[in-house]
Amino acid sequence: MRTLYSSAQIAERVRELGDELARVYAGRPLTVVGVLHGSVVLVADLIRAMPIPHQIAFVRASSYRGETTTGTNLQTSLEGLPDVAGRDVLLIDDIFDTGRTLSALAASINALGPASLRTAVLLWKVDRREVAATPDYYGFRIPDEFVIGYGLDYNGNYRNLPEIAVMEPGDL
């Protein structure tokens, strides 16, 4: 594996995003919605970097199964999402790859009547986008490589790595 972003680089960028988001949402009713399981680490760090009141919730989305490194059929669930009608919603995911996951979840949440809905991701694979939408906020633009760490996994493993690493063909 090769390190793409160190834990120090990630921490600095998350602090910057937290500052920006705190300014945007200051004085507004905010619900932060993380996408399980990949965004857990980012959500935990980001909400601590946002010194403003907010609710948090998690939704489920999955398109990677087992040892695959490309997405398959998308499955989503909004179970556990609080009432977001009239509230600002910040939907957070670990990575914007094709964009299908974030777009599908955003459409479902938008149907619930939030005051606003914006998206944030740690990583954005610009060259893989298959939808018209783009993330409103992002940490880093990355090349089209399979990455792990800081919440991202391969077959359920490596989420615990403090850095973002690229898996080489021999690592798979």
94 is catalytic: no
Secondary structure E strands in 46-149 = 55-62, 75-77, 88-96, 116-124, 137-141, 147-148
Contact 105, 59 (CB under 8 A): yes
- Annotated catalytic residue, options 93, 97, 136, 144: 97
What are the start-end ranges of the H helices in 7-155?
Answer: 7-25, 40-48, 100-110
Tokens 């957070």 sit on residue: 92
Q: Which two tokens stand for residue 81?
A: 């999402």
Q: CA–CA separation, 124 vs 98, rounded Å?
A: 9
Helical axes 40-48 vs 7-25, angle rounded to 10°? 60
Q: Please identify every residue annotated as catalytic.
A: 97
